[in-house]
């Protein structure tokens, strides 16, 4: 079936044709007619299924066909709410690309940048506004936006907006919209919170699900690599260099770890940058542009920063650390295997993350294949994998375990000052978690009576595998 068979107008079909798309994806086949009918829609779709075009193409057509109410400056007729800056920018770009042969205008507003250029753009009059909830409320507070003539409301990645705590902001915004409007809600997962939100805002919606609930696309090959925590960075660098990987998207749980890993890879000769919420919008935009063009080999990101990252044929996603929320795993690996292409998702899993892996496999309803790399096999850990009692954690923190290990690693790599935290508890990425034995030590080699933190961590250069004589027990 072609796009022409879905009832889209000639100007929109022309724009779609120029992008190179010829065959609609499953979500587009169902969503486009549903939106064109004028009714509400509740759609469950994984990232990378083409859902943005699934709602933007019919919205452009509906707005083009309808007469604008009122006179004077053109009013905002469609509001698209989305959780992150990157996703907002991507959606607004789609509006411009697909609407290039219409007279419709669009703009995007989000935080992290000056509000004044946004105000100037809004004053010119627009038809489609794409916004993050926080910045939209800023504009509403300053009375620089009028939502009284919104005809269509889209909540994209609603599950992520709820996860980020935007539910109160969303309800405030909805209260300022006309009661008579078309509502479209898209979510990768259907939690009870999503169902409650849908029940409150949707009127007899059409329901579309293009994939099994909470399931990743089948086009993504998923692998688990068993590895000790302290060897993850070396293994990642070895894989990237040995297999000549390019356009590798790597996920970490924290901003500090993202910075640390990107710097570590860069010092090992691999071009890498980090993006997260603490980076300026300009820095994030430049890093994303370089990554999309292929000039940046590795992009290290936190979950929030990577939302909306849409790269054609992205081949590799690596979970440097597993997320502690199983659904986030699905969002992460959904960056590859998009729109009919295949991809690979690799998770580097240490013993402390086996519980997270079990939760993910429970959600997926299947076991992921385990692998090891010669020379990087996990070393058996004779200490309990569970964390010690709270008193033991506090004792180890008092002995400065994290700071000592970070500095030892830095000395081995010639950059100790760069990675040592300024004060205890600063969260240096290289520090071991409470209850984890410092890297490079074992109980059999520890001097009698020595505290667990007295032995510095062993270090080695990138791509230098550990001797393969060690056994692979404990996993």
pTM flag (> 0.75): no
Percent of the chain whose pLDDT exceeds 70 = 73
| Residue keyed to tokens 């724009």 | 15
The arithmetic mean of pLDDT across residues 216-235, rounded, is: 87
pLDDT of residue 164: 84
Tens digits of residue pLDDT in 449-466: 444 434 334 333 333 333
pLDDT of residue 419: 38
Question: Residue 59 and residue 129: Cα distance in Å, rounded?
Answer: 12
Angle between helices 133-142 and 167-175 (to 10 degrees): 40
Q: Where do the structural domains in the chain lie, given as residue ranges? A: 3-209, 220-371
**What are the structure tokens assigned to 371, written together?**
């692998």
pLDDT, averaged across the chain: 78
Tens digits of residue pLDDT in 321-342: 998 888 788 878 877 766 556 7
**What are the structure tokens assigned to 439, written together?**
């890297």
pLDDT of residue 248: 93
> Which class does domain 3-209 fall in?
alpha beta
- Does 125 have pLDDT greater than 90? yes
Question: Residue 72 and residue 60: Cα distance in Å, rounded?
Answer: 21
Lowest mean per-residue pLDDT among 55-59, 69-73, 169-173, 254-258: 69-73
What is the DSSP pairing of strand 272-275 with strand 128-131? unpaired
Tens digits of residue pLDDT in 419-429: 333 433 333 34
pLDDT of residue 211: 57
What is the DSSP pairing of strand 128-131 with strand 206-209? unpaired
Of 40-49, 55-64, 385-394, 462-471, the range with the highest mean pLDDT is 55-64
**What are the structure tokens assigned to 314, written together?**
């992205």
**What are the structure tokens assigned to 278, written together?**
């603490």
Cα torsion 396, 321, 281, 128: sign: negative
Distances (CA, A) of 67 to 64, 177, 402, 404: 8, 19, 64, 69
What is the DSSP pairing of strand 370-371 with strand 248-251? unpaired
The CATH architecture annotation of domain 220-371 reads 3-Layer(aba) Sandwich (3.40)
What are the φ and ψ backbone dihedral angles of 324, each rounded to 5 degrees? -85, 0
More confident residue, 47 or 8: 8
288 HSE (CA, 13 A, CB side):
23
**What are the structure tokens assigned to 168, written together?**
């109160």
CA nearest to 63, candidates 149, 4, 151, 174 = 151
pLDDT of residue 469: 34
Question: Residue 340 and residue 232: Cα distance in Å, rounded?
Answer: 31
Question: Do the first three CATH levels of 3-209 and 220-371 match, i.e. the same topology?
Answer: yes
Tens digits of residue pLDDT in 299-324: 999 877 656 566 767 889 999 999 88
- Does 358 have pLDDT greater than 70? yes
Asked if residues 220 and 49 have their Cβ atoms less than 8 Å apart, the reply is: no
pLDDT band at 432 (very low <50, low <70, confident <90, very high): very low
Tens digits of residue pLDDT in 365-407: 889 999 999 989 888 653 333 333 344 344 434 444 443 343 3
Question: Residue 61 and residue 68: Cα distance in Å, rounded?
Answer: 13
pLDDT band at 112 (very low <50, low <70, confident <90, very high): confident
The arithmetic mean of pLDDT across residues 37-58, rounded, is: 87
Query: What secondary structure, in 3-state letters, does 361-411 show?
Result: HHHHCCCCCEECCCCCCCCCCCCCCCCCCHHHHHHHHHCCHHHHHHHHHHH
More confident residue, 380 or 358: 358
> CA-CA-CA-CA torsion for 350, 353, 357, 359, nearest 10 degrees?
170
Question: Residue 6 and residue 26: Cα distance in Å, rounded?
Answer: 12
The arithmetic mean of pLDDT across residues 199-215, rounded, is: 78
pLDDT of residue 192: 83
- Does 50 have pLDDT greater than 60? yes
| Residue keyed to tokens 């926080």 | 134
- Does 468 have pLDDT greater than 90? no
Tens digits of residue pLDDT in 247-263: 899 999 999 999 999 99
Percent of the chain whose pLDDT exceeds 90 = 46
Question: Residue 187 and residue 198: Cα distance in Å, rounded?
Answer: 10
pLDDT of residue 103: 93
pLDDT of residue 21: 81
């Amino acid at each position: 079936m072609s796009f022409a068979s879905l009832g889209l107008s000639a100007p929109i079909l022309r724009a779609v044709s120029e992008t190179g798309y010829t065959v609609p994806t499953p979500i587009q086949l169902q969503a486009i007619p549903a939106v064109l009918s004028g009714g509400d829609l509740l759609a469950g779709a994984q990232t990378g299924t083409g859902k943005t075009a699934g709602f933007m193409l019919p919205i452009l057509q509906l707005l083009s066909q309808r007469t604008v109410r009122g006179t004077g400056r053109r009013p905002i007729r469609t509001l698209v709410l989305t959780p992150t800056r990157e996703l907002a920018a991507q959606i607004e770009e789609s509006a411009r690309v697909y609407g290039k042969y219409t007279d419709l205008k669009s703009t995007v507003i989000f935080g992290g940048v000056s509000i004044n250029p946004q105000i100037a753009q809004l004053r010119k009059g627009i038809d489609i506004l794409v916004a993050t909830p926080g910045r939209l409320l800023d504009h509403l507070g300053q009375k620089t936006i009028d939502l009284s003539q919104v005809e269509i409301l889209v909540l994209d990645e609603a599950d992520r907006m709820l996860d980020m705590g935007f539910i109160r902001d969303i309800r405030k915004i909805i209260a300022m919209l006309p009661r008579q409007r078309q509502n479209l809600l898209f979510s990768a997962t259907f939690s009870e919170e999503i169902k409650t939100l849908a029940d409150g805002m949707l009127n007899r919606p059409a329901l579309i699900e293009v994939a099994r609930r909470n399931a990743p696309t089948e086009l993504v090959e998923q692998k688990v690599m068993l590895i000790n925590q302290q060897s993850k960075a070396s293994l990642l660098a070895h894989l990237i260099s040995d297999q000549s990987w390019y356009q590798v998207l790597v996920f970490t749980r924290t901003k500090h770890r993202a910075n640390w890993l990107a710097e570590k890879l860069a010092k090992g000769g691999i071009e890498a940058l980090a993006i997260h919420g603490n980076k300026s919008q300009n820095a994030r935009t430049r890093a994303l542009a370089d990554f999309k063009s292929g000039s940046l080999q590795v992009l290290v990101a936190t979950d929030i920063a990577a939302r909306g990252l849409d790269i054609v044929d992205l081949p590799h996603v690596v979970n440097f650390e597993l997320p502690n929320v199983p659904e986030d795993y699905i969002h992460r690996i959904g960056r590859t295997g998009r729109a009919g292409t295949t991809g690979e998702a690799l998770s580097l899993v240490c013993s402390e993350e086996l519980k997270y892996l079990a939760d993910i496999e429970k959600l997926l309803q299947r076991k992921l294949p385990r692998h090891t790399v010669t020379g990087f096999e996990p070393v058996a850990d004779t200490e309990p994998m569970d964390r010690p009692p709270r008193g033991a954690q506090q004792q180890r923190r008092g002995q400065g375990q994290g700071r000592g290990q970070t500095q030892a690693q830095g000395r081995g790599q010639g950059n100790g000052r760069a990675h040592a935290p300024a004060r205890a508890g600063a969260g240096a990425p290289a520090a071991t978690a409470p209850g984890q034995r410092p890297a490079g030590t074992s109980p059999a080699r520890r001097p009698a009576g020595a505290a667990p933190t007295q032995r510095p961590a062993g270090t080695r250069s990138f791509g230098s595998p550990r001797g393969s004589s060690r056994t692979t027990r404990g996993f």
